[in-house]
Chain A
Amino acid sequence: MSVSDTNLASAPRRANRSSESVARKVARNVGVPVLSIVLLLVVWQAIVVGFHVAPYIAPRPYQAVLAVTQNWSTLWPLVLGTIRETVYGFVAGAALGISLGVIMAKVPVLQRLVYPVLVLSQAVPIIALAAPLVLILGFSVTPKVVIVAWIVFFPVTVNVLDGLSHVDQDLVNLARVYGAPRWRTFVQIEVPATATPLFSGLKIGATYAVTGAIIGELAASDGSSLALYQEHANTNLNTAAVYGTTMLMTVIGISWFLLVVGAEVFATPWQRRTVARRSWRRVADQSEGDSAR
């Protein structure tokens, strides 16, 4: 029988993604979300103007934006503070979540022992947690980081645990048949197989991280924070500043979420590509001995 290339080329998923023009890609992935945000602002403006809403009840979008830009020098350090709490807390929470997920997946006894405690930890209202945390840790950045991590770790643990428990056992057995040591099987098979659920957990964590930081700032703040700034503005009926700060918090939250999404896109190219990116190793190989072609 002749073995030729010709009758094999009926791949179900062709590489048509790459043939799509860059402009269209940008339009679809960036243009549409931006458009929906612009639309939201337009609706907001229309409602406020149309129903003659007083500025102290609800400001117009541009007033909210102005309230931010005009006080940028005051706000900027506060924003940095919130970002710091979010990032530290997220990283700590993700690290804790991954470690717990892996340990629980590998030691079933621990899984039964620890799981109820984890669920319990999430049933505790975060606000109620703040007071004892301040007593223990003081009014520093630490209690906020702890609150963020407290929120972030849970979806990460649950997803990692779930992912690791659902790795195809036939694949693990195949590695065994090859004579692979268990740690290699873990690193090369189980870890990448868990990438998708891991990132699901991280994305959920990322959306809640800023909320955690703001709650922490409210409940455990010693004076200067974005959340307190907003509270002062609210007391002074400076509604534009209240809305402006909310927008800032939202932007921080979305940016962090997008960063995690970006990390996922970078880390899991097989999810959306049919052909691998060129790597230095492959290039070296090709130049070395592919004259046999």
Chain B
Amino acid sequence: MSASAILELRDVGKVFGDTVALEPTTLSIEEGSFVAIVGPSGCGKSTLFNVIAGLLEPDGGEVRLHDRPVTGATGHVGYMLQKDLLVPWRTVEDNITMAKRLTGRVSSAHRAEARRVARQYGLGDFLRHYPSALSGGMRQRVAFMRTLVTHQPLLLLDEPFGALDAQTRLEMQQWLLQVWKDTERTVLFITHDVDESIFLSDRVLVMSPRPGRVVADFVNPLARPRTVDTLTEPDFVVLKARIMHLLHGGTP
């Protein structure tokens, strides 16, 4: 393996009954990179995530994080879904510190960190609010902060902005890039949205269903920082065309 890989999959596959959810897949993710995974429903993206997170035991193969085997084990990644999964009975602050409460004790240092992060990213005035008082975009931000303060170096984000309107989504994408730059994490990001996958990532993995597998692995040539203009650059359009071609039944 390369010295800078944070995550490695070796022949990791999963079958449900007659359905091959994920063909044996080998994959290496570089530390600090932003990798997007794009594909239609049923292509095994979420199965892949659940195997990496340890929620699913793969049929075969090995998951290695920082060169240590973690196959089938939980507690080693940050994880966030399209559903924000904020608990309605806790305040924003207590939602952010939820992982600590579930695994041990929340110290005043943890609470102080939660407040600092919330203030830094624009939710300082809502610390004592219940999630029901927040808009969809704000709720996703809280969910993301909750993922951040777990201090896991690898974040799995499964269509985190899928439920937001286009305007809010663009804001959230730029915000996410900002946070990613600030906090130096590795991000694996699932999306349906080809534009989103290119806009955010260093690398785009394209997956296809029946059987679920990775069919292409593109290096994203676009420079950072990305702005709204990025969306119309020639390199962007070229990459988008190649991905669209694959998603609509073409061969690499």
Which A residues form the contact surface with B (CB < 8 A)?
Answer: 1, 3-5, 7-15, 168, 170-171, 173-181, 184-185, 188-189, 192-193, 195, 268, 270, 273-276, 278, 282, 284-285, 288-290, 292-293
Contacts and interface: CB of A to CB of B under 8 A. Distances in A.
Interface of B: 53-55, 74-77, 79, 81, 83, 85, 87-91, 98-99, 101-103, 108, 111-112, 115-116, 119-126, 128-130, 132-135, 137-138, 150, 171, 174-175, 177-178
19 contacts: A3-B120, A3-B175, A11-B134, A13-B132, A13-B133, A168-B83, A171-B85, A174-B85, A177-B55, A178-B98, A179-B75, A179-B102, A179-B103, A180-B103, A184-B101, A185-B102, A192-B89, A274-B129, A284-B108
B79 A177 contact: yes
A177 B119 CA distance: 26
Nearest to B143: A174
Nearest to A174: B85
A1 B178 contact: yes
Contacts of A10: 135
B115 A290 contact: yes
Contacts of A15: 133
Contacts of B77: 177
B103 A184 contact: yes
A229 to B, nearest CB: 45
A292 B102 CA distance: 27
Nearest to A10: B135
A1 B133 contact: no
Contacts of A11: 126, 129, 133-135, 138
A14 B135 CA distance: 11
A183 B182 CA distance: 35
B89 A270 contact: yes
A193 B90 CA distance: 11
Given A170-B81, A173-B55, 10 more contacts: A3-B122, A176-B74, A177-B75, A179-B75, A188-B101, A270-B90, A274-B129, A285-B111, A288-B108, A292-B116
A13 B129 CA distance: 11
Contacts of B111: 285
A276 B79 contact: no
A168 B82 CA distance: 14
